[in-house]
Chain A
Amino acid sequence: MIAEKIDINKLPKKALRDTYGEILVELGKIDPEMVVLDADLSESTRTHKFHVAYPDRFFNAGIAEQNLIGIAAGLAYTGRTVYASSFAIFLAGRPWEIIRQQIAYNKLNVKLVASHGGVSVGQDGASHQMNEDVSLMRILPNMNVIVPADSIEMEKILKKVHWIKEPFYIRMGREKFPVILPENYEFELGKGYVLKEGKDVSVIACGVMVSMALQAAYELEDEGIDVEVINMSSIKPIDKDLIIQTAKKTGAVVTSEEHSIIGGLGSAVAEVLAENYPTILVRHGVEDRFGISGPAWEVMEELGLSVSGLKKKIKEALTKKVR
Chain B
Amino acid sequence: MRDIQELKEIARELRIDIITMVYNAQSGHPGGSLSAIDILTVLYFGGFLRYDPKNPWWEDRDRFILSKGHASPALYSVLAKAGYIPKEELSTYRKIKGFTPDGYSRLQGHPAWQGNKHGVPGAEASTGSLGQGLSVAIGQALSGRLANKDYKVYVMLGDGEVQEGMTWEAAMFAGHHKLDNLIAILDNNNLQIDGDIRQIVNIHPLKEKYEAFGWHVIEIDGHDYQQIIDAFTQANQVKGKPTMIVAHTVKGKGISFMENNFKWHGVAPSKEEHEKAIQELTTGGV
> Which A residues have a C-beta under 8 Å from some C-beta of B?
35, 56-57, 59, 61-62, 64, 66-67, 69-78, 80, 97-98, 101-102, 105-107
Contact = CB atoms under 8 A, between A and B. Distances in A.
Interface residues of B, number: 31
Interface string B158-171: 00000001100110
B140 A56 contact: no
B210 to A, nearest CB: 16
A80 B112 contact: no
Interface in B84-142: 112-113, 115-116, 119, 124-126, 128-129, 131-132, 134-142
A78 B144 contact: yes
A77 B116 contact: no
B173 A62 contact: yes
B279 interface: no
Interface of B: 112-113, 115-116, 119, 124-126, 128-129, 131-132, 134-144, 146-147, 165-166, 169-170, 172-173
A56 B136 CA distance: 19
A101 B129 contact: yes
A77 B124 contact: yes
Contact of A66 (B126, B135, B142, B146): B135
A74 B138 CA distance: 7
A74 B126 contact: no
A59 B166 CA distance: 17
A66 B169 contact: yes
Contact of A74 (B131, B142, B166): B142
A71 B146 contact: no
B129 A77 contact: no
B113 A106 contact: yes
Contacts, number: 99
Given A77-B136, A106-B113, A70 B170 contact: yes
Contacts of B144: 78
Contacts of A66: 131, 135, 165-166, 169
A63 to B, nearest CB: 9
A66 B139 CA distance: 13
Contacts of A56: 146
A164 to B, nearest CB: 16
A101 B126 contact: yes
Contacts of A59: 142
Given A70-B166, A102-B125, A64 B173 contact: yes
Contacts of B132: 70, 73, 98, 101-102
Contacts of A61: 169, 173
A74 B137 contact: yes
Given A56-B146, A78-B143, A73 B116 contact: no
A57 B141 CA distance: 13
B125 A75 contact: no
Contacts of B115: 77, 106-107
